Amino acid sequence: MSKDKIINIVLIAGYFIFLLFSYITDFRIGIEIGGNFIDFVKSMLTILPIAFILIGLFEVWIDRKTVEKYFGHASGYRGYFWAIVLSSTTVGGAYVAFPVAHALFKKGAKLSIILTYIGSSALTRIPMTIFEASFLGLKFSIIRLLVSIPLVIFSSIFIGRLFKNKIRVNP
């Protein structure tokens, strides 16, 4: 076994020993940490299985040529538009956005469009935007989107050009 695996096992075991010790000694901070861990695991178990099933279906049902047409190198600025539309309908935040981005990348999507998808998935989700508008106002939400989206696109194009020849994927 490698040194890194041993360190990981020791750290994970230490974490669970700490949680057990906290429950035995009624150490409040440790009990709260354990409660947060359980809430996180429950959240993952409700979102991830469905997301991975849908991503698996995406990989099987959606043709590579379709992804290349809408998200590939020849898509132009249309690809950025579709990336924002897709990200605004994605539920589950980064837990789902990164696996979807990986699936798009494997199917031939352009790196800068994938980066736009990831960046805008944190900004443009419809339920979160509605929630934000109800508390901070529609004007604030519109201004935030009008400022944020171009910045995400420009930074994605910049990063995509930086890594253009450095990242390869096997079809």
Question: Residue 54: which pLDDT band, with cuts at 50, 70 and 90?
Answer: confident
pLDDT value, residue 148: 95
In a domain, 83, yes or no: yes
Q: What share of the chain is helix, strand, coil (3-state, %, to 5)?
A: 80, 0, 20
pTM for the whole structure = 0.77
Residues 103 and 81 reside in one and the same domain = yes
Residue 98 included in any domain: yes
Does the structure show a pLDDT above 60 at 170? no
Q: How many domains does the chain have?
A: 2
Domain identity same for 75 and 28: no
pLDDT at 169 over 70: no
Q: Are residues 157 and 84 in the same domain?
A: yes
54 within domain boundaries: no
Q: Is residue 72 part of a domain?
A: yes
- 75 in the same domain as 31: no
pLDDT of 165 reads 74
Q: Is the pLDDT of residue 131 over 60?
A: yes
Summarize the confidence of residues 58-78 as an average pLDDT.
90
Is pLDDT of 168 > 90?
no
Measured between alpha carbons, how far is 77 from 89 in angstroms, rounded to an integer?
Answer: 19
State whether 42 and 67 are in the same domain: no
Q: Are residues 134 and 169 in the same domain?
A: yes
Percent of the chain with pLDDT over 70: 98
- Claim to verify: residue 86 and residue 20 sit in the same structural domain: no
Q: Are residues 67 and 129 part of one domain?
A: yes
- Token couple for 73: 């190198």
Domain co-membership, 69 together with 153: yes
pLDDT, residue 127, reads: 86
Query: Does a structural domain hold residue 53?
Result: no
**CB-based contact 152:121 (threshold 8 Å):** no
Q: Compute CA 142 distance to the chain's CA centroid, rounded to the nearest angstrom.
A: 23
Boundaries of domain holding 19:
1-48
- Whole-angstrom distance, CA of residue 87 vs CA of residue 18: 39
As a whole number, mean pLDDT of residues 81-110 equals: 89
Give the model confidence (pLDDT) of 12-45 as tens digits: 999 999 999 999 999 999 999 999 999 999 988 8
Tokens 């979102």 — which residue? Answer: 47
76 with 116, same domain: the answer is yes
In a domain, 57, yes or no: no
Handedness of CA 123, 129, 135, 140 (dihedral sign): positive
